[in-house]
Every structure is written in structure tokens, then in C-alpha cells.
Amino acid sequence: MALKPRQQRLHHRARRSSLRTRQARSGVRSLLRALRSRDEEVDLQTSVQAWAAAAALAGVLGIHACAGKDEDWRAVVTFPASAVGAEAQVLRDQLERFMLEHPDVRIVRRETPDAADQRHQLYVQWLNARASDPDILQLDVIWTPEFAAAGWILPLDGFGPPVEEYFPATIAANRWDGKLYALPWFVDVGMLYWRTDVFRDAPATLEELSRAAARARDSAGIRYGMVWQGARYEGLVTVFLEYLGAFGGRIMDDDGRIVVDSEAAVRALRFMVDEIYETQNVPRSTLTWQEEQTRFAFQNGQAAFMRNWPYAYPLMQDSAESRVASRFAVAPMPGADGGEPTAALGGSQLAINTNSENPEAAYAVIEYLTRPEQMLERARVVGQYPTRPALYGRPELARALSVAPDQARRIIERAVPRPVTPIYTQLSELLQIRLHRALTDQQPPRAALEAAAEEMRALLDKVGLAPKEPNGAGR
């Protein structure tokens, strides 16, 4: 690929700069040791004398004190991460423990927006500007090909990550052009939350779900039958993907052809539209909701069913916050005629900015956060699923998860990925617009999907990523 030599250059540059700063750091350290041994009683590390000496040495070595270091000469690693639910707390704890283990590294967390699309926009601005900060990036599973192809993130193979210890699908999603660009941190799978005080069992089909939701509104006085993420953003595509799979449709086929205007797809979108306007199980307000708004509705006892990711589970079990604690369970999103129960594959990956001043320190942080113990803790506190299959046999995980680990593992292994392409974000945006038009009743489902498919094919053509045969053939 045309980008290869450039990526290699950037990688080497990053490694060279980090080597220079490491040499400088060890030079400064020996100087400090020498000064300290002359006068034990003075804390020379903070004394003016030591700093003058250190600055002089830095000058000799031709580096600037600020090149990825703080005033104590620790490597500074910046890390913008999401903080939905309990994520912020567990991340803070883990990073603090890491810093105790690595006194020469200081991690600076940056808050980022919860919505995947907004975080993407922010990252693109930083990386496009070739900023060296942030060092570590929390990537959605759909972004790795785009960031790798743009040369924005470093290949990780040189660090020797234990790839065979991860779910193969999560590793495959992070490879681009034969190299690994990110390590899977946690897996997300879409699931159905249902009220155990209202229903005896989880529905087996979407039809059954719809009927049960209507009954719950009529007889149990529950305001909403079903809530999902219906705002025009990435979350909507994941919800649609699950209805789509339920009816047997796909967004893109194995040859890279857009097939989102198939009959199955039209049936899926029509079903979603009917849930809003015919059965009225799904409130119109859902069309502006993301994950958290649906969680609030469900935990306030206002919804009989909810589609959401695993993170919502522990939060809603907290009776101080939730009116439905111990009164709900999770199940796979059901299937419909022609398809099968489908969970969208989501989740987060950790990658290193190509322009990072401290790639080794950044990798050390990634290696720490993806260790089995940290994944188990994250599962316990946040409810997020580990990316290491071996953990699914551990009793700690059985205690931590909302479903039996072997069931979770089966759902993960069958979860459906979104198209793996460097222009995923643009394709998704085209689809989001049309899906939302149909759901807001501005365009019939078939016309909306035909328009989306046409626009998506035109984009693939334009960037030279269209499959060889004429688009749409074989449908």
C-alpha cells in the first residue's frame, strides 16, 4: 500500500525520539544519583541545583525538557477515554495502580464525549493536525481500519502482543494490511433487557416481543413497550443491524457489495417503523435517544423492554439509582422470519498515536489495561465483557456478568461485525441519515434504503473501493 513507507518512517521516528529521551533520562538520573550521594539530606530532585544540572545535561543532549516529559522527568502519557456509567471510576483506579508500578510514567486522562460519533470527530481533528497528544486512543471497533490506513496509529506487532489470547474476531477487526493496530479492550454485544416482574420469559421472536410489549403497556401500565437508540448516530446503525440480522439481511456482503436495500432489509426497517407508528410500542422520543436516555427510561420503570449494551446492567442493579434493581434480566435480541437472533459486535480497542512522544510507555499502559486481572475488574464494576476467551472459565467472571459466561461467550462468538473498511464512518453516516428519515416518517422504508444503498455504492466507487463486479449484482 502507498502508505506503508510513510507509516514505517513515522514509526521509526517515534522510536528514535523515544530512545533519545530515554538516553537523556538515564543521563539525568545518574547525574541526580551522583549529586544525591554527595548530600543525603537535601532532596536534590526538587532542588534548584539539580534542576540546573539536569537542564544543562538536556541541553548537551539536544532535547527539550517538555518533549513528552513532565517536570519530574516522567514520561507523560495522555489518554482520552469514555466515561459512560462506572467506566470512569474503574479506569481511574487502574491507571493509578499502573503509576504505582511505573513511577517513571504519568498518565493524564482527558474527558471525551460519550457519543461514539463525537469522539470520532474529536480524534480526527487531533490526528489530522498530527498532534502528539493524545498518546493512547480508545477506538471503537469500527475505526481501526480508517485510522490505520490514514497512518494515524502505530502497528503494535513490534511490541509482541499475545494475539492468540484474544477472541479471533476481535483481533481480525484490528488488523489492517496484515498488521495489528490496536488491542481489544472489551467487547460489546447488543442485548435485550426485559422485566422479570412483568414477563415470565424472554420473547423468542420479534413478533412475540412486540405483542408482549403492547400487553405490558395495556395491563401493567408501563409507559413504553420497547426503547432503543434511535438518534441519528452510530448507535442507530447497531440497533438496525440487529433487526436486519433478525430478518436475514446484511449491510455489506462478503464480496464488499452493499446489500442494505434487500427485501429482508426493507422488512426489518418497516418493522422498526411500525413499532413507532402502528403498535406505538416504541416512543417517538426514542428518535433522539442514545444509550443513556434509554437506560434512564428503563431504570425508572418506564419501559418493558430495552435494547442496550452490557454496561447498563450493573448500573441498573443499584437500588439507590434504579427502580428495577433485581427485577430485570437480559437475553439475546430475538430473531424474526428469515433470519436469526443477532447481536451487533461493538467494543473498544486501545491504540497508539503515530506521533506519540512516548510509544513504549503508551504500550506499557495498554499492556496493563488488557491484563486478565484488569479485565475481570472491569467486568465486575462496569459489566463489560473481556476480550480474552480464557477468562470465561473463571468463577470471578461468572459472579461479575449478567449472563452465564458460556452464554456470553456464545453471543460474542456469533456477534455480527459492521463492515470492515477504512470509509466505514462515511458509509455509516449515509445510512444513518436515511434510516432516520424512515423512522421519522419522512420517507418510506424501501425508498430510504434504496437511496442509502445508492449513495453508499457511489461513495465506494468514488474512493476506488467498489467490488470488481457491477454493484448490486447477485442480489
Residues that bind ligand GLC (CB under 6 A): 116, 140-141, 188, 234-235, 238, 309, 346-347
Left, alpha or beta for 62 (phi > 0: left; psi -120 to 50: alpha)? left
Q: Would you say 448 and 436 are in contact if contact means Cβ atoms under 8 Å apart?
A: no
As measured in angstroms, the least distance from the Cβ of 273 to ligand GLC is 21
As measured in angstroms, the least distance from the Cβ of 140 to ligand GLC is 5
Q: Would you say 222 and 303 are in contact if contact means Cβ atoms under 8 Å apart?
A: yes
The 10 Å Cβ neighbour count of residue 105 is 21
Residue 438, phi then psi, degrees to nearest 5: -70, -40
Residue whose C-alpha cell is 477504512? 422
Which residue type does 281 have?
A: N
When the beta carbons of 245 and 347 are compared against ligand GLC, the nearer one is 347
Q: How far, in Å, CA of 42 to CA of 35, rounded?
A: 10
When the beta carbons of 10 and 90 are compared against ligand GLC, the nearer one is 90
As measured in angstroms, the least distance from the Cβ of 6 to ligand GLC is 28
DSSP 344: B
When the beta carbons of 140 and 357 are compared against ligand GLC, the nearer one is 140
When the beta carbons of 85 and 405 are compared against ligand GLC, the nearer one is 85
CA-based diameter of the chain, in Å?
A: 84
User: In angstroms, how far is CA 446 from the centroid of its own chain?
Assistant: 30
Residue 214's Cβ-count burial label (10 Å; 0-12, 13-18, 19+) is middle
As measured in angstroms, the least distance from the Cβ of 63 to ligand GLC is 39
As measured in angstroms, the least distance from the Cβ of 344 to ligand GLC is 7
When the beta carbons of 95 and 236 are compared against ligand GLC, the nearer one is 236
Give the residue nearest to ligand GLC (CB).
346
As measured in angstroms, the least distance from the Cβ of 377 to ligand GLC is 19
When the beta carbons of 233 and 247 are compared against ligand GLC, the nearer one is 233
* DSSP-assigned beta bridge partners for residue 180: 175
Long-range CB pairs of 214-221 (<8 Å, 24+ gap) are: 214/279, 214/281, 216/304, 217/281, 217/304, 220/304
As measured in angstroms, the least distance from the Cβ of 347 to ligand GLC is 5
Element (H, E) at 310: none
As measured in angstroms, the least distance from the Cβ of 227 to ligand GLC is 14
Q: How far, in Å, CA of 185 to CA of 203, rounded?
A: 31
Q: How far apart are the first and last CA of the chain?
A: 31
C-alpha torsion sign, points 45, 47, 53, 56: positive
When the beta carbons of 24 and 316 are compared against ligand GLC, the nearer one is 316
When the beta carbons of 14 and 379 are compared against ligand GLC, the nearer one is 379
As measured in angstroms, the least distance from the Cβ of 301 to ligand GLC is 24
The 10 Å Cβ neighbour count of residue 7 is 22
Which residue type does 56 have?
A: A
When the beta carbons of 141 and 315 are compared against ligand GLC, the nearer one is 141
As measured in angstroms, the least distance from the Cβ of 235 to ligand GLC is 3
When the beta carbons of 181 and 309 are compared against ligand GLC, the nearer one is 309
